[in-house]
Amino acid sequence: MAASSPSLSALLKKSTLDDHEQILEACNKALKTSRSDLEAQHVKVVALLKLDRYDEAVKFIESAGDTLQKTADVEYAYALYKTGRLEQAVDLSSKIQSRGARHIEAQARYRLEDSLKTSEVYQRIDHHKSEDYDMRVNQGAIDAQAQWIGVADVKSIRRPGREDLQAFETTYNAACGSIARGEYAQAEVLLKRAKELCKHSEDLTAQQKIDELLPISVQQLYVLLCLGKSSEAEALAAEIKVEEVSDLSTRKVAENNLLLVTSADNPFLAYKAFHTTAKIPPEDRLFSYQNIPLLSNKATLDLRAFKFDGLRSSTTKAQHRPLSLSPDALVSSCSAAAARAGNETGKAAIKKILRILEREPNDIGTILTLVQLYILGGDSTSAVELLESFLKRLEQSVAEHEQEIRFSPLLVSLLISLYKNRGQKAHVKQELAKAAAYWRTQSNPPTSLLKAAGVSLLESQNEEDTASASEIFAKLKQQQPDDKATAAGYVASHATDKSSQLKTDIDKLTPINDLIRDVDVTSIETAGIPQSSNALAIAQLGRTRKRAAPDANGLKAKRVRKSRIPKDYDENKKPDPERWLPMKDRSYYRPPKGKKKAKKGGDTQGGVVNEDLNVDGKPAAPVVSTSGGGKKKKGKGKK
Pick from 126, 156, 189: which residue ends a domain?
126
Residue 241, domain member (yes or no): no
Going from the C-alpha of 608 to that of each of 65, 98, 601, 602, the distances in angstroms are 136, 127, 8, 9
% of the chain residues with pLDDT over 90: 25
φ, ψ for residue 499, nearest 5 deg: -110, 140
Residue 344, domain member (yes or no): yes
Helix, strand, or coil here: 550?
Answer: coil
Look at residue 546 in the predicted model and tell me its pLDDT. Answer: 52
Rounded-to-integer distance, Cα 170 and Cα 163, Å? 8
What would the mean pLDDT of 324-344 be, rounded to a whole number? 88
As a whole number of Å, the end-to-end CA separation of the chain is 156
Name the residue among 191, 155, 151 with its Cα closest to residue 173: 191
Look at residue 536 in the predicted model and tell me its pLDDT. Answer: 66
State the amino acid at position 144 in one-letter form.
A
Is the pLDDT higher at 556 or at 484? 484
Look at residue 439 in the predicted model and tell me its pLDDT. Answer: 87
Judged against a pLDDT cut of 50, whether residue 506 lies above it is answered with yes
Residue 41, domain member (yes or no): yes
Q: For residue 56, give its domain range.
A: 8-126
Look at residue 629 in the predicted model and tell me its pLDDT. Answer: 43
Judged against a pLDDT cut of 60, whether residue 15 lies above it is answered with no
Least confident of 73-87, 442-456, 467-481, 492-506: 492-506
What CATH number corresponds to the domain at position 33?
Answer: 1.25.40.10
Look at residue 637 in the predicted model and tell me its pLDDT. Answer: 42
Is the pLDDT higher at 527 or at 433? 433
Look at residue 156 in the predicted model and tell me its pLDDT. Answer: 63
Pick from 389, 423, 457: which residue ends a domain?
423
Angle CA 18–38–64, to nearest 5: 105
Q: How confident is the model at residue 501 (pLDDT cuts 50, 70, 90)?
A: low
Is the pLDDT higher at 61 or at 573? 61
Rounded-to-integer distance, Cα 55 and Cα 41, Å? 15
Is the pLDDT higher at 558 or at 406? 406
pLDDT in tens, 266-300: 888 888 888 887 788 877 888 888 888 888 988 98
CB 280 within 8 A of CB 105: no
Q: What is the per-residue DSSP string for 170-222? A: HHHHHHHHHHHTT-HHHHHHHHHHHHHHHHT-SSS-HHHHHHHHHHHHHHHHH
What CATH number corresponds to the domain at position 383?
Answer: 1.25.40
Rounded-to-integer distance, Cα 413 and Cα 220, Å? 33
Residue 379, domain member (yes or no): yes
Helix, strand, or coil here: 9?
Answer: helix
Look at residue 557 in the predicted model and tell me its pLDDT. Answer: 59
Judged against a pLDDT cut of 80, whether residue 32 lies above it is answered with yes
What would the mean pLDDT of 608-631 be, rounded to a whole number? 44
Q: How confident is the model at residue 7 (pLDDT cuts 50, 70, 90)?
A: low
- Please state the pTM of the whole predicted model: 0.68
Name the residue among 131, 137, 105, 129 with its Cα closest to residue 118: 105
What would the mean pLDDT of 248-261 be, rounded to a whole number? 85
What's the full length of the chain, in residues? 639
Q: How confident is the model at residue 14 (pLDDT cuts 50, 70, 90)?
A: very low
Kindly report the number of other CB atoms within 10 A of residue 92's CB atom. Answer: 22
Q: How confident is the model at residue 255 (pLDDT cuts 50, 70, 90)?
A: confident
Kindly report the number of other CB atoms within 10 A of residue 262's CB atom. Answer: 16
- 420: Cα separation from own chain's centroid: 19
Look at residue 93 in the predicted model and tell me its pLDDT. Answer: 93
Look at residue 390 in the predicted model and tell me its pLDDT. Answer: 94
Look at residue 53 in the predicted model and tell me its pLDDT. Answer: 93
Least confident of 397-401, 459-463, 626-630: 626-630
Q: How confident is the model at residue 172 (pLDDT cuts 50, 70, 90)?
A: very high
Domain count, the chain: 2
Q: How confident is the model at residue 9 (pLDDT cuts 50, 70, 90)?
A: low
Look at residue 573 in the predicted model and tell me its pLDDT. Answer: 83
Residue 257, domain member (yes or no): no
Q: How confident is the model at residue 625 (pLDDT cuts 50, 70, 90)?
A: very low
Residue 470, domain member (yes or no): no
Rounded-to-integer distance, Cα 263 and Cα 274, Å? 10
Pick from 406, 423, 440: which residue ends a domain?
423
Look at residue 631 in the predicted model and tell me its pLDDT. Answer: 37
pLDDT in tens, 351-406: 999 988 888 888 899 999 999 999 999 999 999 999 999 999 998 888 888 889 99
Residue 213, domain member (yes or no): no
591: DSSP letter: P
- Is 362 exposed, middle or buried (CB count within 10 Å of its CB: 0-12, 13-18, 19+)? middle
pLDDT in tens, 181-234: 889 999 999 999 999 999 998 888 888 888 889 989 999 999 999 999 989 999
Is the pLDDT higher at 466 or at 286? 286
Residue 36, domain member (yes or no): yes
